[in-house]
Structure 1
Amino acid sequence: MRRLTVLSLFACLIMAVTASPLAKREEAGNVEVVEPSDNEVDAVGAFPLDFGVENNDGWKDKDHRKRCTEREICKGVVPVDSEKYLCRDKRLGPKKLPTRFPLDDITHPYNRFGGICSAAKFLSLWTGNNGAFVYPPKDGFQLNTNDDPIKGTIKLRYGTLLDRFGSEYGQYLSPAEAPYPQRALPPSNLDTPTTGERYPYNYHVYKVIKDLEVVAGPIAPWFGQPGQGTQYFVSTNIFDLISQGYLKPMPLEFSKIF
């Protein structure tokens, strides 16, 4: 009986890591991609249960003991942006995380810095010399033991619901309402566009209205997040897929945000 219990727990853990939904990474503009080095932070161990917990009252470290104050978090960061961003740096995402369904569920549990209490350290780990975020190699797919991306071409059928955090110039989608930590995105993807409030936290929902071929696979850990969700990479940007009749934007009310 003890052996069966252990095996059952192991099977559940494997399912939690491999079967979770998701998508991914990038903003419009130039994106720097680098191969990981021996000096990279090991994000593989950053499974959600190991994370510190962040909410709108503050942060705790990965051992759930020390509460990080905003002063500690922002030490060493030069404030250059609006006060709505954490540490007044839009790369660090909004100061306040979502509090309404479903976005509150998507972003909880979530620690934007992967369990460290220093925004400056986080930026030093995940940005390049130009201050922009450095993105993972091989289009962000998890790599196998030969360092090849784990991916395959599939067809998404009519009625499939997808989403993304980011502008419609991107080429990545995820299964709708997938947990944010499993997307391995930087916190800046949660920034509401400055052009308007139509899409709070830059969250977009789409319905497949014509069968859509995508490259699908698990997401590599990055930005201090565990990844391991599923991402869909498409051949052109989201604007084009809408104009070509593959995707239909869904109103936010559809996702019960309001």
Structure 2
Amino acid sequence: VVNNVKRPQQLGNVGESGIDTSWYKPDGSINYPPNNGAVPGTEVNITLKPGTTLGRYGNIGEKSNFVTQTGADASKLALPPNTNPAIYQEFEVIKEIPGTIQAEIAPWGGSAGGGLQYELPKPILQLIKEGYIVPK
């Protein structure tokens, strides 16, 4: 048992806490979806333009580089179980951000997917520090 969730080999897909156990590797670490969470074939390399507003659920770590559209339905985002959907932040793009990968979110971990994700070319905290985005 890891964090009160039984591993997939122990109990189907849903653990005692109701969390889909496909989110966990046998060692208890997070098992992120394949293809960076994107539906294969939906990825488009775009440049985010100044004035664009982005949303983010959960805390921001040093490597966090995924955001979504503002007001996106959290149930369509395949958020990892360690993400608190009550924590929501918005950011405004100040300088163009080339090399952003936009894609439809694949179903994973009990989520139907279907939302839109943006994989930023740098971590959010670095983009803030470099003046590309600002918290709203």
Larger radius of gyration: 1
Percent of aligned positions with the same letter in both sequences? 30
Match of 2:123 in 1: 237
Name the Cα RMSD after superposition. 2.5
1:135 to 32, 42, 45: 32
Deviation sequence 1:132-160 (CA, Å, 0-9, x none): 221111111102xxxxx420111222111
Match of 2:56 in 1: 164
Q: 1:127 to 1:206 in 2, by over 3 A?
A: same
Match of 1:207 in 2: 92
SS in 2 for 1:139: helix
**1:183 equivalent in alignment to 2:77:** yes
- 2: distance between equivalents of 1:203 and 1:228? 19
Q: How does 1:23-172 map to 2 (within 5 A)?
A: 118-119=15-16, 122=19, 124-143=21-40, 149-165=41-57, 166-169=59-62, 170-172=64-66
- 2: distance between equivalents of 1:127 and 1:208? 33
Q: CA deviation at 1:222?
A: 0.5
Q: 1:124 to 1:158 in 2, by over 3 A?
A: closer
- 1: distance between equivalents of 2:21 and 2:45? 35
- What amino acid is the match of 2:34? P
Q: CA deviation at 1:186?
A: 2.2
SS in 2 for 1:184: coil
- TM-score calculated relative to the size of structure 1: 0.44
- What amino acid is the match of 2:117? Q
Q: CA deviation at 1:117?
A: 7.4
CA contact (8 A) 1:184 1:221 kept: yes
Unaligned runs of 5+ in 2: 6-12
- Which structure shows the bigger proportion of residues in helix conformation? 1
The number of equivalent residue pairs is 126
- 1: distance between equivalents of 2:108 and 2:20? 13
- 2: distance between equivalents of 1:177 and 1:132? 29
CA contact (8 A) 1:218 1:228 kept: yes
Q: CA deviation at 1:211?
A: 1.7
Q: CA deviation at 1:126?
A: 2.6
Unaligned runs of 5+ in 1: 1-76, 81-88, 92-115, 144-148, 192-200, 251-258
Match of 1:97 in 2: none
- 2: distance between equivalents of 1:127 and 1:234? 24
- TM-score calculated relative to the size of structure 2: 0.79
SS in 2 for 1:217: strand
- What amino acid is the match of 2:133? L
